[in-house]
């Protein structure tokens, strides 16, 4: 990795670090080191990074603000690309906005609401980046990214960039084409919003935010919802009805506030969380015959 690091530093692509602890870059505060950690300073520099990755045939993955992510205690081989400063531009053109993949979704929703633009009220309190939200079609309160996204600018592993329409993104529940068929990085997204009453939009944003505060454990490090809802059932209700709220393995605990959240209650490891996930899966299947699937993305060395 030293040779690749030297090459990237020579290209002045942004921050480049070896063996960077990913616990510092995930909302659950868990994760071993990335062999090489890069935070590109612009979309153009990100393209250069991808060129070097392709040249050397290295494994890679992109992260945003590290929510909805559980990284192995052993860390990640290859390259981790973090989208942050430098890939967080914002352009507002009437009711259409173009925003960088590294922009905070919460910050975007808050800013847009104050301008009287409606469509992102559901995103109040979703602690991810715009890129991550598009990648997984994040949603809440009966809406999701697919309802407002017009197109997304994607950087693919071969170094090419392409704008994909909403249809081409092939959105479904917490999923997009980027997870299913065409791995890539969301560098920009275009959202079509609508004009609304500023006071009403801000009030709804606050209502959604307050609801999350009283129903979800954001006072502890966590990764967001752990399981997909096995519709027509809801993961949190199944876990609660099974009497699993508060169940703890090591430093990982099923939240006493919401059954579909696992919190880092103190020095939790990824293995603690994985053991708790397996316990939930086994319990729910044995009790109700329902197979639980994780929504949180689990990555890294086995």
Set 20, 188, 253, 295: catalytic member: 295
Closest CA to 217 of 249, 252, 242: 252
Establish whether 225 is a catalytic residue: yes
CB 148 within 8 A of CB 140: no
Establish whether 174 is a catalytic residue: yes
Question: Which string of DSSP letters, residue by residue, matches 254-265?
Answer: E-SS-TTEEEE-
Distance of CA 24 to the CA centre of its chain: 15
Burial readout 191-200 (b: 16 or more C-beta within 10 A, e: otherwise):
bebeebeeee
Segments of 101-183 assigned E as strands: 117-118, 139-140, 143-144, 149-156, 161-165
The token duo for 16 is: 């480049």
Establish whether 228 is a catalytic residue: no
* Pairing mode, strands 14-21 and 33-40: antiparallel
* DSSP character at residue 111: H
Set 174, 212, 253, 255: catalytic member: 174
Work out the widest C-alpha separation in the chain, in whole angstroms. Answer: 58
Burial class (CB in 10 A: 0-12, 13-18, 19+), 161: middle
Active site residues: 174, 225, 295
């Amino acid at each position: 990795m030293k040779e690749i690091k030297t090459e990237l530093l020579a290209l002045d692509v942004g921050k480049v670090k070896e063996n960077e602890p990913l616990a510092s870059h995930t909302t659950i505060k868990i994760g071993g080191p990335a062999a090489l950690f890069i935070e590109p300073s612009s979309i153009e520099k990100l393209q250069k990074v991808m060129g070097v990755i392709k040249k050397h045939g290295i494994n890679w993955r992109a992260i945003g603000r590290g929510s909805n992510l559980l990284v192995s205690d052993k860390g990640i081989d290859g390259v981790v690309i973090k989208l942050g400063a430098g890939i967080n531009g914002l352009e507002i053109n009437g009711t259409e906005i173009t925003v960088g993949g590294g922009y905070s979704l919460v910050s975007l929703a808050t800013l847009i609401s104050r301008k009287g633009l409606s469509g992102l009220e559901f995103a109040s309190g979703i602690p991810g980046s715009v890129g991550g939200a598009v990648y997984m079609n994040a949603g809440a309160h009966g809406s999701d990214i697919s309802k407002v996204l017009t197109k997304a600018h994607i950087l693919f592993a071969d170094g090419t960039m392409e704008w994909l329409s909403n249809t081409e993104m092939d959105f479904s529940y917490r999923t997009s084409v980027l997870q299913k068929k065409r791995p890539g990085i969301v560098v920009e997204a275009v959202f079509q919003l609508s004009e609304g009453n500023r006071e009403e939009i801000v009030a709804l944003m606050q209502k959604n935010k307050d609801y999350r505060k009283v129903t979800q454990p954001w006072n502890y490090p966590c990764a967001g919802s752990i399981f997909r809802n096995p519709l027509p059932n809801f993961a949190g209700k199944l876990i609660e009805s099974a009497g699993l709220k508060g169940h703890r393995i090591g430093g990982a605990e099923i939240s006493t506030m919401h059954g579909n959240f696992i919190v880092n209650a103190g020095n939790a490891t990824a293995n603690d969380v994985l053991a708790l996930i397996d316990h939930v899966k086994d319990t729910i299947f044995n009790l109700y015959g329902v197979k639980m699937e994780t929504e949180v993305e689990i990555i890294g060395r086995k």
